[in-house]
Amino acid sequence: MPSSSEIQVDGEEIHEARWFSREELRAAFKYGEVLPPTGNLDRSRLVELWYGEPLP
């Protein structure tokens, strides 16, 4: 059984997953390492609420 910090993805709907702090995510957006979620307003809003400001 995975620990609470391990992420398992199904390889179909989700191909890759990582944990980020807000600062790490801000840097990942800035350098194009991560793109903000698109196409699903609920998913975008959840990330934005946690992020603390509008997504880039």
pLDDT at residue 20 tops 90: yes
Query: What is the C-alpha to C-alpha distance for residues 32 and 5, in angstroms, rounded to an integer?
Result: 24
What is the gyration radius of the CA atoms in the chain, in angstroms? 12
pLDDT at residue 22 tops 80: yes
pLDDT at residue 2 tops 70: no
Query: What is the C-alpha to C-alpha distance for residues 17 and 20, in angstroms, rounded to an integer?
Result: 10
* SS (HEC) of 28-44: HHHCCCCCCCCCCHHHH
If we measure between CA atoms, which residue out of 28, 22, 29, 30 comes closest to residue 51? 22
pLDDT, mean over the chain: 86
